[in-house]
Amino acid sequence: MDEAQILGSRIRDLENWFEGHRGVYDGLKRDELRTLYITAGDETKGIQQSDIILANQFNDEKTLLVLSASSTDSSEVVSVDRLQLIAARFPQFQYVRSASLTRAADLLAARGQVKAALAPYRQAVSGPTKYSELAKSKYLKLKRTDVNKLGRAYVGRK
């Protein structure tokens, strides 16, 4: 068996397992299936597995690292661009979209690019509840910080 056959066989085994265990979440198997899809070159199915993981494991750090990773550069600039590109290319995967936008905004904010960070936080607010609440909270906190940096008084509203 060559590598492609081995990958295909393992993917089928995992797909069959999930088919036989509907409603059961197994993070290790989902992670393996995501890795296999990515290795096999099926980015959409890999992103779909990331979406399932993020739906079941709020803000899963490994998934966010996988989504932000670039094969050519590990800089934060590339990570921000990649996260925003994934959110734009795969809007059907709401958990991936919201988590990617929030992480991109976090990276921008950490670099002091406050105004640039506000837009992805704002976009992420339309996502699933937990991700929406996180993005809204970070957006409001950053907006207060930004206004305060400009030396104007902030009048907060809920």
With residue 1 as reference, give the H or E element that holds it. Answer: none
Mean pLDDT for all residues in the chain: 90
Q: Which of 144, 141, 123 is nearest to 132 (CA)?
A: 123
Q: Can you state the angle between helices 114-124 and 129-149, rounded to 10 degrees? A: 160
pLDDT at 45: 98
pTM (whole model) above 0.85: yes
CATH number of 3-149: 1.25.40
Instruction: List the chain domain ranges.
Output: 3-149
**Per-residue model confidence as pLDDT tens digits over 78-136:** 899 999 999 999 999 999 999 999 999 999 999 999 999 999 999 999 999 999 999 99
